[in-house]
Every structure is written in C-alpha cells, then in structure tokens.
Amino acid sequence: MDLRRYTEPFFENLIKVCGYSSGFVVLLIVIFLFREGISFFNFSPVEKGYSLWVHSNNPVKKLEPAQIKDIFDQKITNWKSIGGKDEPIHLLSFDELSQAYSPTQLGPKFEHLPRCLDSFMDSLPGTIGFFPEAQTVGQLKTAREVEVDKIALSKFLTDTEWFPTSRPAARMGVMPLLLGTMLVSFFAILFALPLGLAASIYLAEIADERVRKILKPIIELLAGIPSVVYGFFGLVVIVPFVQDAFNLPVGETALSGSIVLAIMALPTIITVSEDALRTTPRSMKEASLALGASQWQTIRKVIVPYAASGITAAAILGIGRAIGETMAALMVTGNSAIMPHSLLQPVRTIPATIAAELGEAPYDGLHFKALFALGCVLFFITLIINLLVERVSAKR
C-alpha cells in the first residue's frame, strides 16, 4: 500500500489551511485596527458627557480646540481676540459656582444647577463654563452651548500639539510624533548603513571562511536580543555618554535613540547586504581581476554595483526596523511630544506613544481611539516601506 498517495494530499491541504488561516488572521487584525482608528474621527475633542457654555448674547458661536486650550490656559483673556465683544473672559468652574451659591440653591442633587448657571452668566456675560451635559442640556435659558467641530483628518495630521488628556478639549496633532519618528529613524539608518555595508563587504569578500563562520552567527544572534535589553544598554551607556559629550541637562534625546536604533538595525543590514554581495557571479569577479583590477577596485566597481538592489533593500528593512521599534525608543528618546528642532532634544515616536499611553487611555474613549489612529498611520508607513523593498528587490 502506497502511503504517499494519502499523506501527500493531506499535508498539501494542511499547508493550504495554515496559509489561508494566517492570511485571514492578518486581515482581521487590519480590519480591527482601521475600524477603531477611523471611528476616532467621529469624536468631538471635548470630553465625552461635557459641554462648553457661554452667554446667549455672546457672538462667538464656534471654537477650535486650540482656542479652547488657550482660553483655559489663560493665553487668550479677551473675547475680542477670537471674534467676540471687547470684554474679559471669565473661566467658571464648578468649585466657583459652589462658592457663589449655597447647597440649598444648587439642590441636593444639583437639580437647580441650570438656574444658578443662568443667573451667574447674567451677572457676568463674559463667562465660559465647562459642565456635564446631563445636568444642563435643555434646561439653560441664558447660557448657550458652544459648537466644537469633530476631529478632522487634516487637523490630526498637521496639528503640532499632542495633548490627548487636556481638558476641556483634547489636542490630537500627530505631527510632532511623526517628525520624531522620522528624525530618529533617518539618523539611525545614516549611522547604521556605512557600518553595516563595511561589515558585510568584509564578511563577503575579505574575511576567510573560518572567521566568517564565527562572525556571521554572532551577528545574526544580535537580531534575536530583546529590544528592552537594547533599551537598558542605551539607558546605562549611550544616554550618559551623550549627556556628557554635549553637556546636556538630560541625555534622553533623539541622538541617543538614533544610536540605539542604529545598533539594532545593524544585524538586518549586515545579513541582507552580505547575502546580496555573495550572489555576485564568480565569473564577473575573475574577469575584473584578470583585466588588472585590484581587489578593492573589483569590490567598488563590480560587486557593490551588482548587489545595489539588495543593499538598498537592506537599508529600507533597517529603516522599517527603526520606525517600528517600541521599547528601546520609549526608554532613551525622552518621550517629549514636541516639534523636534535638533537631535539634542527629547522627542517621542509613534510606537513609543502607543506603548506609553494605551494602558492609561479609557477603553473606547477619545484617547483610546486616537492611539488606534496612530496605529493606522504607522501601518501606512510600514506598508510603504515594504512595498519599496519589494520594488527594489525585484530589480537587477
């Protein structure tokens, strides 16, 4: 009885099932990511269940999140600067209302809060208040709710402030996180590519077989080290070095992150580049040497140009490793969500932001959805990188 007649179709179907299952799981993950991320744009930046209230005679009908933040930070102190009357802005808090009116006037369950709020705004028309909707909607006469637009994709991508927990209106600008990610990743690959290319040329063309058999597994082993270990190394060695070398108050900077990510990207760059260099046909090398070229001339004029697509793919894969890195970037870059202007200042990357804030974000809230939207941005970045790798690798 020929068992192969039965076993081969079985294993063939098993492999098909595994392949389809893996693809289906990945598809479900992408659908879940985008479902959560896109729903973010249906939210208002004002905290859920609360509203902003002004006097009904106030000509200001709508406020931007940036204006709301500046008002409550007291950077804007007059309504005239945002299209209103020439009168000072008074920020009304619940504590102030409790001091202005007795518990009897407010009611045991604050059922008279709308009446007190109306009375207060009558006495001080320049007031803006931030109160729960459940206790105010449909009951106010003198006060009027201020309109705040829902979060727009253009604002999300171009706004320069990331304050997801600020009250009364959150600021959700991805630009400082995006630029921080790009800055750290760009300089990481700038540091790693020359070193990685030099190491790959040495392994492929200069080192003897015994040395290569020792070094190649060690380099590949570096890729398996957990990123948190690289983060500890960066925190203990790289961060103090950068702080002392540039006389900085703190060493957690974009430069520290770039150096650590460069070290992490080196195994990928060396391995892929070395494999590409070793695919150069032996006949081409021998022809170059036979024509009188030296070994270095052969490497520079023949081998490296022939392996250019593989080297480029290695560089792009290294960038992908740097962009997607979480723990090491979280530990050494300083986690400051500000617009980067220098390598010597703290920055925050998109993966580090998701890792640092997801545990504190209320489930299904604005902040939670914003982090999924960041995940969508990161997904598009890595997708573009992977497409570039496929396109470059296909070229000879």
What is the reported pLDDT for 374?
Answer: 92
Supply angle C-alpha 356, 243, 265, rounded to 5: 60
136 pLDDT band, cuts 50/70/90, is low
Could you tell me which residue, 377 or 132, shows the higher pLDDT? 377
pLDDT at 137: 58
pLDDT at 138: 61
If you average pLDDT over every residue of the chain, what do you get?
A: 86
Q: Is the pLDDT of residue 135 over 70?
A: no
State pTM to two decimals: 0.84
Which of 131-135, 178-182, 218-222, 365-369 has the lowest average pLDDT? 131-135
Whether residue 17 is predicted with pLDDT greater than 90 in this model: the reply is no
Q: Give the model's pLDDT for residue 187.
A: 93
Q: How far is CA 129 from CA 46, 71, 86, 143, 145, in A?
A: 13, 11, 19, 9, 9
Cis bond upstream, residue 9 (ω within 30)? no
Angstrom CA distances, 230 to 83, 144, 196, 332, 339, stand at 53, 55, 18, 10, 26
| Residue 232 main-chain phi, psi, to 5 deg | -65, -40
Model pLDDT for residues 226-276, shown as the tens digit of each residue: 888 999 999 999 999 999 999 989 889 999 999 999 999 999 899 888 888
pLDDT tens profile 46-77: 888 888 888 888 888 888 888 888 888 888 98
- Token pair for residue 111? 């059922």
The encoded tokens of residue 229 equal 């270990």
DSSP letter assigned to residue 167: S
d(CA 276, CA 246): 38
Alpha-carbon distance of 10 to 2, in angstroms, equals 14
pLDDT on residue 253: 92
Percent with pLDDT over 90 in the chain: 18
Average pLDDT over residues 149-164: 87
pLDDT at 134 over 70: no
For residue 219, name the pLDDT band (cuts at 50, 70, 90): confident
Straight-line distance from the first to the last Cα atom of the chain, in angstroms, rounded to the nearest whole number: 49
User: In this predicted structure, what is the pLDDT of residue 292?
Assistant: 85
Least confident of 71-75, 172-176, 219-223, 390-394: 390-394
Q: Give the Å distances, CA to CA, from 115 to 50, 86, 89, 140, 331.
A: 17, 26, 21, 7, 51
Q: How far apart are CA 256 and CA 27, in angstroms?
A: 36
Q: Are strands 90-92 and 127-132 parallel, antiparallel or unpaired?
A: parallel
What is the percent of the chain where pLDDT is above 70? 96
- Measured CA to CA, the distance from residue 268 to residue 361 in angstroms comes to 34
Average pLDDT (340-361) is 89
Query: Rounded to 5 degrees, what angle do the CA atoms 22, 25, 29 make?
Result: 140
DSSP conformation letters of 100-150: HS-HHHH-TTSTTHHHHHHHHHHH-TTEEEEEEGGGTTTT-SSEEEPB-PP
- Give the mean model confidence (pLDDT) for residues 307-319: 84
Cα separation, 73 vs 43, in Å, equals 23
List, as one string, the DSSP characters of 7-59. HHHHHHHHHHHHHHHHHHHHHHHHHHHHHHHHHGGGS-SBPTTEEEEEETT-S
Helix (H) or strand (E) holding 162: strand 162-163
Q: Residues 288, 289, 295, CA angle at the centre, nearest 5°?
A: 105
Question: Sorting pLDDT into bands at 50, 70 and 90, what band is 167?
Answer: confident
Q: Quote the pLDDT of residue 243.
A: 92
Q: Which two tokens stand for residue 249?
A: 């108050």
Structure tokens, 191: 């540091």
Query: Is the pLDDT score of 145 beyond 90?
Result: no
Could you read off the pLDDT of 93-120 as tens digits, one per residue?
878 888 888 888 888 877 777 888 888 8
Q: Please give the full DSSP string across 209-257, using - where no structure is assigned.
A: HHHHHHHHHHHHHHTTS-HHHHHHHIIIIIHHHHHHHTT-S---SHHHH
Q: At residue 154, does pLDDT exceed 90?
A: no
Give me the pLDDT at residue 170, please. Answer: 87
Q: Specify whether the backbone of 154 is left (phi greater than 0), alpha (psi in -120 to 50) or beta.
A: alpha
The confidence score (pLDDT) of residue 240 equals 92
Distance CA 166, CA 195 (A): 44
